[in-house]
Structure 1
Amino acid sequence: MKKGRLSSLDAFRGITIAGMILVNNPGSWKHVYAPLQHAEWHGWTPTDLVFPFFLFIVGASVSLALSKRMARGDSLPSLYFKIFSRSLILFALGIFLRLLFRFDFENLRIPGVLQRIAICYLLSALIFTKVGTRGRLVIFLFILMAYYLILKFVPVPGYGPGVMAFEGNLCGYIDVKLLGGHLYKPTFDPEGILSTFPAIATTLIGTLTGDWLRSSKKVLQKTTGLFIAGIVMIGSGLLLHPHFPINKQLWTSTFVLFTSGAALVLLGLCFLLMDGIGFKKWAYPFLVLGTNAIFVYAGSIVMAKLLVLIKVSTGQGTLTLQAFIYKNLLVPLFGNLNGSLLFALLFILLWIAGMIPFYRNRIFIKI
């Protein structure tokens, strides 16, 4: 491994990527356990933690990586070139994966997961190069408060202010006005324009966490700080939930608080076990995934598309390769729900096995 690499952060990233694959690749979307589905609107499930966890990790990585470059004297123009080029590649990769095997510009969905990662990385990294820890904390709090005030008091034509329902909320209104038919749904996109701003706040809290982890404090102090901050943020999100609901699709300020708090607690646990106690063996599969996270995520999307495109002839007709594996191999042995879950777990195991040679040979594909 690269000298100075924080193994607990790599493991946390790997856990998050495994979670992404798990929730995105069931054997059948008709048979999915409730915790592996997103909340319909307000509220949360474990699945709703996955994406904010990744953005949080992006922020922590920004702090760890850029601080090293700045300490060794890299010029700001060279840093900006790296930041902008990486952001552009991530955004373009998201568009490419959307068009892959279905080249349809007319109905192309412009927002997306990688596109949001690109924007959050870009702005958080630029802020990091110019603003210190306290300043970023102020920006974080300002975004949360401003977003709350905007959603609560800016009126939507035909609906008025403060609408938090699927129909009539300000996020959807802005998306339709600016992006038209290039959305996930006709009137809304969960990775839309306005909700990207609080997602940047999620990434900024990650940069603050990175600052804390690279400080000179002892392991126990760092771990305690992560746990305390995490519990306070979780509690704040839950306390404010009745007034400003936790909602992933709107990426509400309470959602930022709650999910960032959960990320702090889980990272604190990984940090204590791995960088504190030195107990790392359990995390090997996650390190394998976490050190090539974007490559694994993008590759899993390509593989999922191929499993649907490849057709298999049966006595009753033609099935996609995914449906064939699920219906003919897994359902007879494990039933609908467990078979669907096992399909996703096998998908993860396949990627772990495929990435082991990369990890052993220290091949880290940087995007």
Structure 2
Amino acid sequence: MAQTQADDFQQTPTRLYSLDALRGFDMFWIMGADALFQSLHEAVPGSGILKVIADQLEHPLWNGFHFYDLIFPLFLFMAGVSTPFSVGRELEKGKTRSQLLLRVIKRGLILVILGLIANNGLQLKPLADIRFPSVLGRIGIAYMFANIIYLYSKEVAQMAWFWALLIGYWLLLKFTSAPGFHPGDLTPEGNFASYIDRTILPGHLYVPFPDGRPNMHDPEGLFSTIPAISTGLLGILTGITLKKHNLTQIQKTGRMAIVGVIFIILALIWNFDFPINKNLWTSSFVLLVGGISLLLMSLFYYVIDVLGHQKWAFFFRVIGMNSILIYMSGKFIRWEYTVNGFFKWLVQWAGDPWGAVVFAICLLLIKWLFLHFMYKKKVFLRV
């Protein structure tokens, strides 16, 4: 595939500034911005705008969509966007598919291992106490399979895989269920994906049954990773578009934006039959978050790479260049201790309820300064 697509590619930078900035914007929300806006809402309870923002920074209980649901799939989408600039570049340099296949599998497995550490820490635990599904684990598995499809198929076939996985997953959940439930049951107890997870996965799942029994459902379960592969593939197809020289930058921006709007409309229509649900990573959810991801990518790409306005995005780029590091750092660094060590006086001076707001701001500041130091030293955690 690399040979047939190489003629359509131009000499592009190995990293898109807009992609790093968007990745940083994504990570910004889970490295402390969510806590900042939640504390602001508590400090100013009468503000309707802050209440809306605070609500959007929490996951719905089951069906539905909030902004917070976008963070995880947007990161996976961007991992896909980077593929043509990394794996594709190595193909163009003459690396064989077999060599790159090993690299892709290795990266996927490393992410799965990091996910295990993020969930369970480094101490040994009984098997029953280990949670195997994880955010990084899903990214690793979906990234791996999406990249394998990229390595061994052409662009049209990648599009076919994208839709086949979504439609196949929809049909599976529509005509199956857990034992004792009617076909197409999409409740936490009755859906087929959760049933498969609790049947085959060792350890424990994230969500218990309503009666207190463990292991009902896991939002990062194995079976619902199937449609997540399509999220990665959409990112890869977007990266391929961004590398093509037969499209102008404006055409690339427009194509991403138009497809993004179409996907959102299709998602809202599909929602009537297959509800938008992050817990199950439903096909309608893939289209919705894919559409929003495309709109954000087109906006960041247009403003940063087309118009050249980069300075404002430096704050986010510093985060985006070390996204895995800041995600994993909380397992090894007690960031709240650093805030108490340096800014406890400021938090106390602010008093209640504004002390929580000041604490959240200081936490964000310390994390960003840490990432900025690593950025200046050119130290990046790459998988």
Q: Please give the TM-score of this superposition, normalised by the length of structure 2.
A: 0.84
Partner of 1:162: 184
Do the aligned partners of 2:339 and 2:363 also contact (CA within 8 Å) in 1? Answer: no
Partner of 2:133: 111
Partner of 1:207: 236
Distance 1:328 1:357 in 2: 24
Q: Which of these residues, 23, 26, 35, is aligned with residue 16 of structure 1? A: 26
Partner of 1:184: 206
Q: Which of these residues, 351, 357, 360, is aligned with residue 373 of structure 2? A: 357
Is 1:136 matched up with 2:166?
no
- Secondary structure at the aligned position of 2:165 is classed as helix
- Closer, same or farther in 2 for the Cα pair 1:151/1:46, shift >3 Å? same
Partner of 2:47: none
Q: Which runs of 5+ in 2 are unaligned?
A: 1-11, 43-50, 208-214
Range with greater deviation from structure 2 (108-117 or 16-25)? 16-25
Partner of 2:45: none
Is 1:241 matched up with 2:271?
yes
- Closer, same or farther in 2 for the Cα pair 1:326/1:204, shift >3 Å? farther
Is 1:145 matched up with 2:174?
no
**Count of paired positions:** 352
Partner of 2:261: 231
Distance 2:345 2:192 in 1: 46
Is 1:7 matched up with 2:36?
no
Partner of 1:289: 319
Is 1:366 matched up with 2:367?
no
Do the aligned partners of 1:97 and 1:302 also contact (CA within 8 Å) in 2? Answer: no
Deviations 1:63-121 (A, max 9, x none): 22111000000122321221122122111111123232654233100000111111011
CA drift of 1:275 comes to 0.6
| Alignment RMSD (CA, Å) | 2.8
Partner of 1:333: 350
CA drift of 1:256 comes to 0.2
Do the aligned partners of 2:346 and 2:358 also contact (CA within 8 Å) in 1? Answer: no
Do the aligned partners of 2:24 and 2:321 also contact (CA within 8 Å) in 1? Answer: yes
Partner of 1:316: none
Distance 1:324 1:362 in 2: 27
Partner of 1:95: 116
Distance 2:77 2:162 in 1: 13
Distance 2:347 2:186 in 1: 41
Do the aligned partners of 1:155 and 1:162 also contact (CA within 8 Å) in 2? Answer: yes
Distance 2:178 2:83 in 1: 36
Do the aligned partners of 1:83 and 1:125 also contact (CA within 8 Å) in 2? Answer: yes
Is 1:218 matched up with 2:248?
yes
Do the aligned partners of 2:121 and 2:331 also contact (CA within 8 Å) in 1? Answer: no
Partner of 2:211: none
Deviations 1:334-366 (A, max 9, x none): 755x65565444333222211113323433331
Distance 1:80 1:231 in 2: 34
Do the aligned partners of 1:241 and 1:254 also contact (CA within 8 Å) in 2? Answer: yes
Is 1:65 matched up with 2:86?
yes
Range with greater deviation from structure 2 (22-31 or 243-252)? 22-31
- Closer, same or farther in 2 for the Cα pair 1:254/1:339, shift >3 Å? farther
Do the aligned partners of 2:132 and 2:202 also contact (CA within 8 Å) in 1? Answer: no
Partner of 2:76: 55
- Closer, same or farther in 2 for the Cα pair 1:325/1:133, shift >3 Å? same
CA drift of 1:162 comes to 0.9
- Closer, same or farther in 2 for the Cα pair 1:261/1:345, shift >3 Å? farther
Q: Which runs of 5+ in 1 are unaligned?
A: 311-320
Do the aligned partners of 1:21 and 1:300 also contact (CA within 8 Å) in 2? Answer: no
Distance 2:110 2:261 in 1: 36
Q: Which of these residues, 172, 183, 201, is aligned with residue 194 of structure 2? A: 172
Deviations 1:164-199 (A, max 9, x none): 122211121111111254211220000001110111
The runs of at least 4 aligned residues of structure 1 exceeding 4 Å deviation read 23-32, 321-332, 338-345
- Secondary structure at the aligned position of 1:302 is classed as coil
- Secondary structure at the aligned position of 2:330 is classed as helix
Do the aligned partners of 1:28 and 1:326 also contact (CA within 8 Å) in 2? Answer: no
Distance 1:274 1:331 in 2: 40
Distance 2:342 2:122 in 1: 21
